[in-house]
Chain A
Amino acid sequence: MRLELGKILINDVQFGQTTKVENGTLYVNADEIKQLVKADERIKSVEVELARPGESIRITPVKDVIEPRVKLEGGGVFPGVISKVDTVGSGKTNVLKGAAVVTTGRIVGFQEGIIDMTGPGADYTPFSQLQSVVLVMDVQDDIAQHDHEYVLRIAGLKVAEYLGEAGREVTPDEVEVFETLPLLDSVAQYPDLPKVAYVQMLQSQGLLHDTYVYGVDAKKIIPTIIYPTEIMDGAIISGNCVSACDKNTTYHHQNNPVVHDLLAQHGKTLNFVGVIITNENVYLADKIRSSDWTAKLAEYISLDGVIISQEGFGNPDTDLIMNTKKIEQKGIKTVIITDEYAGRDGASQSLADADPLANAVVTGGNANEVIELPKLDKIIGDISVVDRIAGGFDGSLRQDGTILVELQTITGATNELGFNKLSAKTE
């Protein structure tokens, strides 16, 4: 499967009469966006705001971040959700690189997620670097939480599709090509390199904790194999609203750094043969079945090593350790990517589960670490939730507008795909 990603570099976003890309600026017609969003009658109100890197803006509570793209060949964007369910991951896709759609709106009272566009908070989230079109949405009063999440999720994806269309006729500034061969061909191509796959765990526990693969709720899949470029091309989207610091937004899936870096090493230090996706469920029997299947698939394709990434904390630690242990027991080396809830002093046990076979760990940082964020000039969304969000506490929001919070409040701060700057090293 071969994918050409054409990057149209976006370095500014402005409102305009027509939605278009010109000389690296994304012009946005806010009225068209509002019309598009309000076509769903469940949405009562929508505001379109712009946020640029360096501006004194705080966005909260962030639901999802999405990269606008257009498929020129080989299916459509967000297959099974926005476009027909045709397989993606091949053909040509144009990307508005440097731009994003950010959705905000209160689904439940304690919801979380802060993106600061400037100041110390901006250093913790990669999304502070994006030219952002922010949708502030509110739904009709009688909408239940399940529908509320769905409505906001779909609105964000639709607007990303709409903005992506502006890149259809634009010549990309750079074109990157990614290719993965069918398994046996890939093995034959680099017979001397270790065969490595990526095991991606998808959060799938229920309301506000879900992920979709070609439109299928991931809790209903059994672990399966997917081409790396399918993930890069929008096959997986996020319905996950909780645990801002370590949830994978749709943007994370589109730009999964594990996929990207393994492809970059393919043919050099390793033979990247594919991705196994698995889920994180509530029932222990489901955890056992899924980790058995993951290990079985890893064995079946004769892997030498895997990288396993987790999503979330607590309950999924059990899935992580089950996957790691069972894959290691097949004689396959593992490295896990996770983050830590080690207490504010960093002294507590980092994960809720452990095993001696899980002996190679990359961390995305300690989510309990406390940081102070300055007052910023403009709030997009609703700041009143800050006292109540995860990682906030009584007195978080001070009278002078500064806030004292745990890192887990910041969207993407301790991301478990490594799409962040924090980590730790030991000798």
Chain B
Amino acid sequence: MKPIDRIVTNNPAVQTAYQERFPLEFITGGYLDVLIKVRDRVHAGAVILTHPLSGSVKPNETPYKSIVLAQGTKLDWDSLQLIENAITVVRGMLKDDIKRMHDPGFDLDFQTIDLSLLSSAINDKE
């Protein structure tokens, strides 16, 4: 399996947990901004290692997303298709959103879930 090159995330909890262990690109922005940054990286040759859509927590609920990338040598078409599909889905879900409640009290919960999904993937591989 390809080694981890970097984590792209907008989740402060992931930043705290992993910035010492992996190169980490922190995005100040939303779920979609993370996906768009990952797409830029894919066009520059990166390979996506973790799925760009979250488990069952929907992109219009959680603001947090973290994606693990590896280094590639040329454009990886599978990664490109995956990220383009994900962007389409997320745009579709955000379109319907009627001003969702954003309670800062839940921020930590969403951060924890995103961190947990990421660590359950990463820890397994180490």
Contact = CB atoms under 8 A, between A and B. Distances in A.
A and B: bona fide binding partners: yes
Interface of A: 108-110, 145-146, 203, 205-209, 219, 240, 242-243, 246-247, 280-287, 312-318, 341, 343-344, 348-349, 352-353, 368, 387-388, 390, 392-395
**Max chain B CB contacts within 10 Å: which of A108, A283, A316, A368?**
A283
B124 A387 contact: no
A219 B88 contact: no
Nearest to B88: A349
**Max chain A CB contacts within 10 Å: which of B50, B68, B116, B120?**
B120
A237 B96 CA distance: 34
Given A283-B125, A284-B51, A368-B96, A388 B106 contact: yes
Contacts of A348: 92
A317 B120 CA distance: 19
Contact of A219 (B85, B92, B118, B120): B120
Contacts of A314: 53-56, 58-59, 89
A393 B99 contact: yes
24 contacts: A108-B109, A108-B113, A109-B103, A110-B61, A146-B116, A209-B117, A242-B55, A242-B57, A247-B56, A282-B55, A282-B118, A282-B120, A284-B48, A285-B49, A313-B56, A314-B56, A314-B59, A318-B53, A343-B93, A352-B53, A368-B96, A388-B101, A390-B57, A393-B97
Contacts of A208: 113, 116
A12 B54 CA distance: 41
A349 to B, nearest CB: 7
**Max chain B CB contacts within 10 Å: which of A145, A146, A312, A313?**
A313
B44 interface: no
Given A243-B57, A287-B51, 14 more contacts: A109-B105, A283-B121, A286-B121, A313-B58, A318-B53, A318-B82, A343-B92, A343-B95, A343-B96, A352-B89, A368-B96, A393-B97, A393-B99, A393-B101
A348 B103 CA distance: 28
Contacts of A109: 103, 105-106, 109
Interface in B31-74: 48-51, 53-59, 61-62, 68
Give chain A's interface secondary structure class.
Answer: loop
Contacts of A280: 55
Interface in B94-115: 95-101, 103, 105-106, 109-110, 112-113
B123 to A, nearest CB: 10
B1 A390 contact: no
Contacts of B59: 314
B112 A315 contact: no
Contacts of A316: 55-56
B50 A284 contact: yes
A281 B110 CA distance: 19
Given A110-B106, A283-B121, A390-B61, A206 B99 contact: no
